[in-house]
Amino acid sequence: MVERSPSLLLRSLRTAATRFRAAANAGADVSVGDLVSVDPSGPEVAADWGALNTPETYLGYRKTENLASPGGMDRDVPKAYNAPGHVRHNHWALSGDWTAMAEATVLNEPKGRVAFRFDVRDLHLVMGPAAEGKAVPFSVSIDGEQPAAAAGATSTPMDRASSSNRACIS
The predicted-structure confidence for 124-155, as pLDDT tens digits, reads as follows: 777 777 677 777 777 878 777 877 766 665 55
* Phi, psi for 101 (deg, rounded to 5): -115, 175
Which pLDDT belongs to residue 123?
A: 76
Cα torsion through 138, 144, 145, 147, rounded to 10: -60
Q: Are residues 102 and 148 in the same domain?
A: no
Number of domains in the chain: 2
pLDDT band of 49, cuts 50, 70, 90: confident
Which pLDDT belongs to residue 157?
A: 46
pLDDT at 2 over 70: no
Task: Decide if 129 is inside a domain.
Answer: yes
Whether residue 167 contacts residue 138, with contact meaning beta carbons closer than 8 Å, is answered with yes
Q: Are residues 116 and 56 in the same domain?
A: yes
Is the model's pTM score more than 0.85? no
Lowest mean pLDDT of 2-16, 31-45, 106-120, name the range: 2-16
CATH number at residue 115: 2.60.120.260
Domain that holds residue 148: 122-170
